[in-house]
């Protein structure tokens, strides 16, 4: 057994009261890793608070332990240590969290290539498909028994971050670990029906409008690369009654088109403020492009925020992508 988590396991043994946190706009890996680690620490008799600044999306409310997640830390200090999972930068843990005093030393467990090592201890594996895989390794290394609750959370973390074992980050290890988790009580079909067959109707109404914004752009050069863009405005959200998180996966429709190397989704987040999500098939490292706009992520999936009128934002981002893709010629 490898020994990547030795220093963190030592802190677990020494401490008693822990805080576990993950990023704003939490998705499957953030919540599954947070809860997997929380339940594992609680199984050791530790006193653990699980915190997310933002609400848990409805499709993840079935996850064991989800009902114990808190969204305020008032009166909770102090902690012996805080575990940040699936989070590349401290500020992504949320403004309120960053104002919190009493978090103790920060243990940073993450798989984003753009992680800035904000913790006192940092275990960063960019090759891991998900933070969930890393929590699996931590739990295994610490000889903590994987209960059905832990298994369900870590399976969801791995399953969602690998795009149901389709993305380039899917490895022998991720499949093997998922298999172990199924053996420990994670039920693939129950989980799939909860996560993938359980969308609110307004999501499909929104998708229909968003797909109508599809624009496919040729990148000059011999390889014939294409970029596809989609956008979502507040007005589209309002007219369909959808809330902001529902559009997050739509960017994959842009990448899924024949000949398209990079898909981009622009989502209005404020007056002249857009969240930009990138997906690449591999010819362009979108983490690099996102980083040039102060964002981050992975080579095939990344994000950032850009201010300005929508047309200008799209043009600026597409130009950066074109430049990057032209450099691959």
| Closer residue to Mn ion in complex, CB, 94/237 | 94
Q: How far is the CB of 229 from Mn ion (least distance, A)?
A: 24
**With contact defined as beta carbons under 8 Å apart, do 192 and 198 qualify?**
no
The tokens for 39 are 């339940």
Of 13-21, 89-97, 155-163, 226-234, the window that binds Mn ion (rule: CB under 5 A) is 155-163
Q: How far apart are CA 247 and CA 154, in angstroms?
A: 24
Interior CA angle at 254 toward 116 and 57, to 5°?
Answer: 60
Apex 21 CA angle, 19 and 26, nearest 5: 155
Q: SS3 of 184, please?
A: coil
DSSP 186-247: --HHHHHHHHHS---HHHHHHHHHHHTT-EEEEPSSTT--EEEEEEE-HHHHHHHT--GGGG
Q: How far is the CB of 50 from Mn ion (least distance, A)?
A: 17
Q: What is the size of the binding site for Mn ion (CB under 5 A)?
A: 5
Q: Does 29 bind Mn ion (CB under 5 A)?
A: yes
Q: How far is the CB of 80 from Mn ion (least distance, A)?
A: 25
Q: Which residues contact 76 (CB under 8 A, 6 or more apart)?
A: 19, 49, 70, 102
> How many Cβ atoms sit within 10 Å of the Cβ of residue 149?
21
Compare residues 82 and 130 and give the one whose CB is closer to Mn ion. Answer: 130
| Binder of Mn ion out of 161, 261, 285, 288 (CB under 5 A) | 161
Q: Which stretch binds Mn ion (CB under 5 A): 48-56, 128-136, 162-170, 222-230?
A: 128-136
Beta-bridge partner residues of 266: 231, 276
Does 133 participate in binding Mn ion (rule CB under 5 A)?
A: no
The sign one gets for the Cα dihedral 95, 48, 40, 191 is negative
Q: Which is nearer to Mn ion, 160 or 229 (CB)?
A: 160
Spell out the residues 6+ positions from residue 57 whose beta carbon is closer than 8 angstroms to its own: 26, 27, 245
At its nearest, how many Å lie between Mn ion and the CB of residue 236?
27
| Binder among 35, 64, 86, 139 for Mn ion (CB under 5 A) | 86
Told to check if 110 binds Mn ion by CB under 5 A, we report no
Q: For Mn ion, give the closer residue by CB, 29 or 137.
A: 29
Task: Give 90's contacts (C-beta < 8 A, 6+ positions apart).
Answer: 84, 98, 106, 116, 118
258 backbone dihedrals φ, ψ, rounded to 5°: -50, 130
Q: How far is the CB of 141 from Mn ion (least distance, A)?
A: 20
Q: Which stretch binds Mn ion (CB under 5 A): 80-88, 143-151, 269-277, 317-325?
A: 80-88
Report the alpha-carbon distance of residue 231 to residue 210 in Å, rounded: 6
Nearer to Mn ion, 279 or 322 (CB): 279
Instruction: Record the tokens describing residue 110, joined without a space.
Output: 């993450």
Give the binding range for Mn ion (CB under 5 A) out of 84-92, 219-227, 279-287, 304-312: 84-92
| 157/210 with CB nearer Mn ion | 157
Report 211-270 residues binding Mn ion (CB under 5 A): none
Cβ 29 to Mn ion shortest distance, Å? 3
The residue number with the shortest CB distance to Mn ion is 29
For Mn ion, give the closer residue by CB, 161 or 268: 161
- In the bound state with Mn ion, the residue whose beta carbon lies nearer, of 40 and 131, is 131
Output 110 or 268, the one with its CB closest to Mn ion.
110
Contacts to Mn ion by CB under 5 A: 29, 86, 130-131, 161
């Amino acid at each position: 057994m490898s020994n990547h988590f030795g220093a963190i396991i030592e802190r677990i043994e020494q401490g008693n009261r822990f805080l576990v946190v993950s990023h704003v706009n939490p998705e499957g890996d953030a919540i599954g890793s947070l809860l997997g680690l929380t339940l594992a620490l609680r199984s050791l008799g530790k006193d653990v608070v699980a915190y997310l600044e933002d609400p848990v999306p409805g499709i993840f409310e079935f996850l064991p332990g989800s009902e114990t997640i808190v969204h305020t830390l008032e009166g909770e200090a102090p902690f012996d240590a805080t575990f940040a999972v699936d989070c590349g930068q401290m500020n992504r843990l949320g403004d309120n969290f960053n104002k919190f005093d009493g978090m103790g030393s920060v243990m940073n467990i993450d798989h984003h290539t753009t992680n800035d090592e904000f913790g006192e201890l940092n275990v960063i594996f960019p090759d891991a498909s998900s933070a969930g895989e890393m929590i699996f390794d931590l739990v295994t290394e610490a000889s903590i028994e994987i209960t059905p609750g832990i298994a369900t959370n870590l399976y969801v973390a791995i399953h969602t971050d690998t795009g149901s074992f389709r993305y380039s980050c899917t490895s022998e290890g991720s499949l093997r670990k998922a298999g172990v988790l199924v053996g420990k009580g994670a039920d693939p079909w129950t989980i799939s029906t909860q996560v993938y067959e359980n969308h609110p109707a307004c999501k499909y109404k929104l998708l229909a409008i968003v797909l109508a914004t599809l624009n496919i752009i040729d990148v000059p050069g011999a390889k014939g690369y294409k970029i596809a863009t989609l956008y979502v405005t507040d007005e589209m959200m309002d007219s369909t009654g959808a809330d902001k998180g529902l559009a997050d996966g739509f960017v994959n429709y842009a990448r899924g088109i024949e000949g398209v190397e990079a898909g981009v989704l622009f989502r209005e987040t404020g007056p002249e403020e857009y969240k930009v999500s990138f997906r690449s098939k591999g010819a362009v490292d979108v983490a690099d492009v996102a980083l040039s706009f102060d964002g981050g992520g992975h080579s095939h999936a990344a994000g950032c925020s850009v201010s300005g009128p929508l047309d200008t934002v799209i043009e600026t981002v597409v130009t950066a992508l074109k430049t990057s893709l032209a450099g691959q010629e």
